[in-house]
Amino acid sequence: MSKQRATIKEIAQAAGVSVATAGRVIGGYGYVSAEKRAKVDSIAREMSFTPNALAQGLRASCTKTIGVVLSDIKNPFFSGVLSRIESAARSEGYNTIICNTNEDVATEVELMKVLYSKRVDGIIISSAYKVNQAIAPEDLPLYNSDTPIVFIDRAVRNLNSVVVEIDNVKGGYDATQYLLQLGHKHIGIVAPPRIVTVENRIRGYKKALAEAGVPFEKKNIFRYDTIMPDPHKLIIKWLQSQPQLSAIFCLNCDGLMDVINAIEEQGKAIPQDYSLICWDDCEIARFLKLTIVKQPVEQLGLVATQHLLAHINKSVAEPGSLQRRTLLSADLIKRNSVHKK
Amino acid sequence: MSKQRATIKEIAQAAGVSVATAGRVIGGYGYVSAEKRAKVDSIAREMSFTPNALAQGLRASCTKTIGVVLSDIKNPFFSGVLSRIESAARSEGYNTIICNTNEDVATEVELMKVLYSKRVDGIIISSAYKVNQAIAPEDLPLYNSDTPIVFIDRAVRNLNSVVVEIDNVKGGYDATQYLLQLGHKHIGIVAPPRIVTVENRIRGYKKALAEAGVPFEKKNIFRYDTIMPDPHKLIIKWLQSQPQLSAIFCLNCDGLMDVINAIEEQGKAIPQDYSLICWDDCEIARFLKLTIVKQPVEQLGLVATQHLLAHINKSVAEPGSLQRRTLLSADLIKRNSVHKK
DNA sequence: AACAAATAAGAGAACCTTCTCATATTTTGA
DNA sequence: TCAAAATATGAGAAGGTTCTCTTATTTGTT
């Protein structure tokens, strides 16, 4: 059992010097005689001295720590972003506290308070998708405080905050346009419930349709819900009721498996009978070499961290100089699941 | 811009009371007149006072925070475990600091030091798989300090630490025995390099072979490495050189896609030509309804957290009462990728 | 009425680090 | 040789919270 919690005072006592001198040795500043320096150094190592970051943070009012609030750690998109945030932050000497809200707004509010109480130097957050509907007015200040905040992927509205997000409109547009070019006029959409990001993908879809002069039809959109009793059967029913569809654009990976199974169970094939594009490069998409829209996961984490650190380092200096909104491009990767109509 | 960083002193001043009284109101203890209580409360809310957890932790030498060190956050296994740790800890009033080592021992050591410096109350760690070879002797005390530690999945050897792990031997044994029962005598293994957990799965495999009187053959094991130049081709070559194989046991999900592709490219089918069992229920395994060995991901997170919190709460009381090693069972889930030989 | 018990509120110490001041000693330079 | 500069060391405050001690006032009991 090593101690790991010795204090500078104890080190100083053991070395027969003052706290100030021990502090100088450990902090590596000021004048200390070689003899005492060696003595303190060896005792600190012997006692495996680890400075108390609480005291340091209290004194410096700076913790070299950022907080990350995620709506769903298990989602590979977020764990990918997180991984990049962590590495980018650490390379600049910052540690990362990670919080998971499970898409629950009350939890999100609670965790924001915890991060403030821990005096993190900044926060990166992907809010629960219901945050704009569910947030209580008295909790709004949490998102607009003197601690720098960068929103990723989803933002709380009307706050003039710093946001880094993916250009969902363009991604939706590109995929749709590609299908239209290949002659598909009836493109089905499988989409989860009203999450802002997904609605933007649909906006891009509609824009591409409009430009091509193809009328938008509401029945071509299938709303997929993970709490549905039997989504799989509902998809089959939907496909059967829309026999004109020749292509499907699956707006997230949750519904993908059910869509593919539904298609195959009807004796239809991809891409011969249905062209398929999936949003996000999930395992299944990679396995089946599906054409996808690839989100720049790592870049999102990196850029968000860079913005946050910039914000932290010039929070007082020139607050106007910060870019409020950054859009990252999600690109179409053409593989083997799309055919000409 | 709300303040979020007001101090009790400021609250006290604004309310015209002493720091002690303000502290009593906010802390909810002791005697305070209704009048002053109301005054302090309203001012604290107005200034969105958030107590400084650094000062609290410093004073109490207890941070209500646990640290989690993971070798790879992006791995769904670990992000699943993490998610459960976080929720279990939070329900007991603990926050979670998460660190990612990317399987790098130097990073792991650095992050352990950071957690100690932040004075976390306990640590849950899945060490980098090379930790036992690569750890410097002077860093060993990091794993055997006065701060409670629970190892998950992988442990640093010879430390008499608290470990929660999955019964890899039994999982390997069960899967192999199942294949043997169905008449498969030549069972190929696809395995990543020498990670302890994987070696235990192989131990179970060998045990089942021995019990069935089937000789173990080294050439039936294909070592899969993610940094291989072209693993896919090597798998094909291996399959061709071992035509006697009728079943394959894939010991983690990384190699799965290549195995399946290799089989299909040879014009062979699963399960007609090859029975296939995969360790872990990854997306592809679910999609293809493969027979798998399912690891109790959530349970692992929960049990590890329970042990850690128990350890924290009785660290001095009865240190002998803690269970050193907990084995969780990984169960065979029979689906559609295994046939009789 | 007299005294114990309950209520109310402030002063100040401790937690650990960092760093400014203050003081003392040694070295350098002309 | 003497002052100025460099080197060496310690005392002590600040940072924010919690909580013990102390003191004062009010309420309750007989």
Q: Whole-angstrom distance between the N-terminal and C-terminal Cα of chain A?
A: 70
In this predicted structure, what is the pLDDT of residue A53? 97
User: B212: distance to nearest CA of chain A, Å?
Assistant: 35
B-chain CB neighbours of A50 within 8 Å are 113, 116-117
Distance of CA A82 to the CA centre of its chain: 6
In this predicted structure, what is the pLDDT of residue A331? 97
**DSSP string across B172-233:** HHHHHHHHHHTT---EEEEE-SS-HHHHHHHHHHHHHHHHTTPPP-GGGEEE--TT-S-HHH
Q: State the Cα torsion A283-B232-B262-A293 to the nearest 10°.
A: 30
Q: Give the CA angle between residues B254, B260, B265 to the nearest 5°.
A: 135
Cα separation, B254 vs B286, whole angstroms: 15
DSSP, res B47: T
Residue ranges for chain A with pLDDT beneath 70: 1-4, 315-322
Strands of the sheet containing B331-333, edge to edge, are B221-223, B187-191, B247-250, B275-279, B291-294, B331-333
Decide: residue B3, CB within 10 A, 0-12 exposed, 13-18 middle, 19+ buried.
Answer: middle
Cα separation, B146 vs A123, whole angstroms: 31
Confirm or reject contact between B100 and chain A (CB < 8 A).
yes
Closest nucleotide (CA of B21 to C1')?
C9
A-chain CB neighbours of B284 within 8 Å are 283-284, 287
Cα separation, B167 vs B201, whole angstroms: 8
Tokens for A305?
Answer: 């961290």
In this predicted structure, what is the pLDDT of residue B194? 82
pTM equals 0.93
Closest CB to B54: pick one of A58, A113, A287.
Answer: A58
How long, in residues, is chain A? Answer: 341
Cα separation, B164 vs B325, whole angstroms: 6
Cβ A281 vs Cβ A333: under 8 Å: yes
Q: Which residues 27 to 46 of A reach strand D, CB within 7 A?
A: 30-36
Interhelix angle A256-265/A231-241, nearest 10 degrees = 60
Cβ B277 vs Cβ B249: under 8 Å: yes
Q: State the Cα torsion A192-A195-A196-A198 to the nearest 10°.
A: -10
In this predicted structure, what is the pLDDT of residue A316? 54
Distance of CA B98 to the CA centre of its chain: 11
Closest CB to B100: pick one of A51, A74, A83.
Answer: A83
A-chain CB neighbours of B283 within 8 Å are 257, 282-284
In this predicted structure, what is the pLDDT of residue A154? 85
Q: What is the pLDDT of residues A186-226, one digit of tens each?
A: 999 999 988 899 999 999 999 999 999 999 999 999 998 87
Cα separation, B339 vs B179, whole angstroms: 9
For residue A334, report the phi and psi dihedrals to the nearest 5 degrees.
Answer: -85, 120
Cβ A150 vs Cβ A181: under 8 Å: no
Residue ranges for chain B with pLDDT beneath 50: 1
Residue spans of beta strands (DSSP E) within A147-305: 149-152, 162-166, 187-191, 221-223, 247-250, 275-279, 291-294
In this predicted structure, what is the pLDDT of residue B4? 62
**What are the angstrom distances between the C-alpha of B14 and each of A265, B31, B48?**
70, 20, 13
Q: What is the pLDDT of residues B214-266, one digit of tens each?
A: 999 999 999 988 777 888 889 999 999 999 999 999 999 988 999 999 999 99
User: A146: distance to nearest CA of chain B, Å?
Assistant: 6
DSSP, res A164: E
In this predicted structure, what is the pLDDT of residue A159? 79
Closest CB to A116: pick one of B50, B55, B79.
Answer: B50
For residue B30, say whether its CB is under 7 Å from any atom of strand D. yes
Tokens for A201?
Answer: 């993908």
